[in-house]
Structure 1
Amino acid sequence: MSSPSLSVVMPTYDAADYIERSLESILHQSFDDFELIIVDDGSTDGTIDLIEKRDDERIRLVERENESGITSALNRGINESHGKYIARHDADDWSAPERFDRQVTYLDTHSDVALLGTGAHLVDEDGKRIAKRRVLEDPEVGDLINHNEFIHGSVMMRRDPPTDLGGYDERFMTAEDYDLWLRLADQYSVANIDEPLYYFRQHDESIYGSNLKMLKLYHVLATRRVKDGFDKELYAAITTDDPKRAIEMFTTEERTWFHTELARESIRYGNLSSGREHVREAIRLNPTDLTLPAMLLLTYTTPKIASVVVDTYRKVINAKISVANRSG
């Protein structure tokens, strides 16, 4: 049997509430020359049963008894794969039927591109559309320094570039995708299809917000790595669960970015008191940024008002991306 053109890698852990829709969207793609490699980290909620009831020879299930984390699961999936292209897909998201076909066609005709993402519809816990995420079509490493221009579950990669770079770095407990994108963009061309070919489920603050600070700490570690090499001292501070010491090691620019990002995300999830704390610190560090006082005022409103402003801000960002893509 010949190797498939595409390998789809999906890590799972207790994904029974969402995985059926995800599997449906993959198995009914218009492009069907693929294998789906699912790496499960010891699910106990019936996820395995839902996977095994799918009578489809394209599915390969790798079961690991002990939860080892998403980063090692991703590398295991890549190591098990046979395709010349590798696509990512999360168990709680789903893809448009033409997604794989569009990405494979693009990579077949753009031999210089190592990494290709897409835009996305953002959906809530129930799968209802809440917003659209546009993406830069031709981002460079400089565009990625302050903002992740790729939606992890939407990406497709050529096999060799990430493998040559050592794959996902298993030292990263989060932001492992962002670290890899930066390393790829530093050495190869990367791109996006600015169309919503992926449906990205946004979980509530209790799930996402608890990891937010750690995500931003690893973000700084990744940006430092692409600029100056891996910072072992900063990594040690992060992994010993000492965020205060890690933040003290930041430059003023990094500290300002860190608190501004935490303020934005806190406001987005309705945690206005936390947002207020972080935006005040950002103002202290960078008093000339006139957007920060506006953010501070927003923290004295209500979560509903803040949500409306955040949605408006997202539309403005999307409009700017659209203009940048047209001018590029």
Structure 2
Amino acid sequence: MTDADRVSVCMATYNGEKYIDAQLQSILQELDDSDEVVIVDDASTDGTLAAIAKFNDPRIRVISQTENRGYVRTFETAIRAATNSVLFLSDQDDEWVPGRRVALLEGLQNRRIVAGDLVLLGDDAPLTSPLTRRPWRLATLPEGGSIGNELRILAGNAPYYGCAMAIRRNALALILPFPQFLTESHDLWIATVGNVARTMGHVQHPVVRRRLHEANTSPQRPRGILMVVRSRVMLIRAWAEARRRVRLARR
């Protein structure tokens, strides 16, 4: 394995004691000895940190925040703390599908950002689209991005989840810092950057088994119209900011 294939798993935790053990087991089984898991804990008040400490694995590195900053800023901190050439994002409560590491690295051969599909933990059923109620899978994206794909992101009908994403380090100059107005959906920001820069790739098979429960950060039920409008405005601003950064990088 070359340095270019060494992986840093970036995870944000908050009161995740209930599921963190199963998630970390699924992650560590996938990793090589030279990989790392960077966990930034967002001031948990339960036994999350104790559950992580029980692993006593040298690949795990924990950063404890003394005040709660929210998952967007906590993920940004984890990304900044990563040291390897490839970054995998991970939630605290899902489980990785065996073969995830290989699949995402293959997807990154000619792309700087990739996303895989998700299935539901328990029966491996696909997620359903919140708009069409049909199976929600990534579409083919041969050119690394398109206006059509951006419209799907803005419409909320693109199944981009951070827990199924991988990023080459050379994409971080465009991704970081997260825009100050970004208060949710860091994954859609990353996907927007990849789409605008024409460096987004899709791994069209599952890489994560998603656990559904009442504390999921991503909502499982339709949101109110005001929240939807605010979210769409934020995504339009993200698209404009991504275009600005890509233009500057190309000068």
How many matched pairs?
Answer: 222
Change (3 A) 1:151 1:210: closer
Asked if 1:118 corresponds to 2:128, the answer is: no
1:195 partner letter: H
Change (3 A) 1:71 1:205: closer
Percent identity, aligned pairs only, is: 21
Greater per-residue helix proportion: 1
Structure 2 residue runs of 5 or longer lacking an equivalent are 128-136, 243-251
1:93: Cα distance to partner?
0.6
Give the match for residue 136 of structure 1.
Answer: 139
For normalisation by structure 1, the TM-score amounts to: 0.61
2:158 partner letter: N
Give the match for residue 221 of structure 1.
Answer: 233
Structure 1 residue runs of 5 or longer lacking an equivalent are 231-328
CA RMSD of aligned residues (A): 2.7
- Which structure would you say has the larger Rg? 1
Q: Which moved more, 1:46-55 or 1:146-155?
A: 146-155
Change (3 A) 1:218 1:142: farther
Q: Deviations over 1:249-290 (max 9, x none)?
A: xxxxxxxxxxxxxxxxxxxxxxxxxxxxxxxxxxxxxxxxxx
For normalisation by structure 2, the TM-score amounts to: 0.78
Q: Which has the higher contact order (CA 8 A, sep 6+)?
A: 2
2:190 partner letter: L
**Helix, strand or coil: the match of 1:194?**
strand
- Preserved CA contact (<8 Å) 1:13 1:43: yes
2:213 partner letter: H
Q: Deviations over 1:273-318 (max 9, x none)?
A: xxxxxxxxxxxxxxxxxxxxxxxxxxxxxxxxxxxxxxxxxxxxxx
Give the match for residue 248 of structure 2.
Answer: none
Report matched runs for 1:59-98 at 5 Å: 59-98=60-99
How far apart, in 1, do the equivalents of 2:215 and 2:95 lie? 21
Asked if 1:8 corresponds to 2:19, the answer is: no
- Partner residue of 2:197 out of 177, 187, 200: 187
**Helix, strand or coil: the match of 1:131?**
coil
How far apart, in 1, do the equivalents of 2:216 and 2:175 lie? 34
How far apart, in 2, do the equivalents of 1:206 and 1:161 lie? 28
**Helix, strand or coil: the match of 1:198?**
strand
**Helix, strand or coil: the match of 1:148?**
coil
- Partner residue of 1:145 out of 146, 154, 175: 154
1:185: Cα distance to partner?
0.9
1:196 partner letter: P
- Preserved CA contact (<8 Å) 2:162 2:186: no
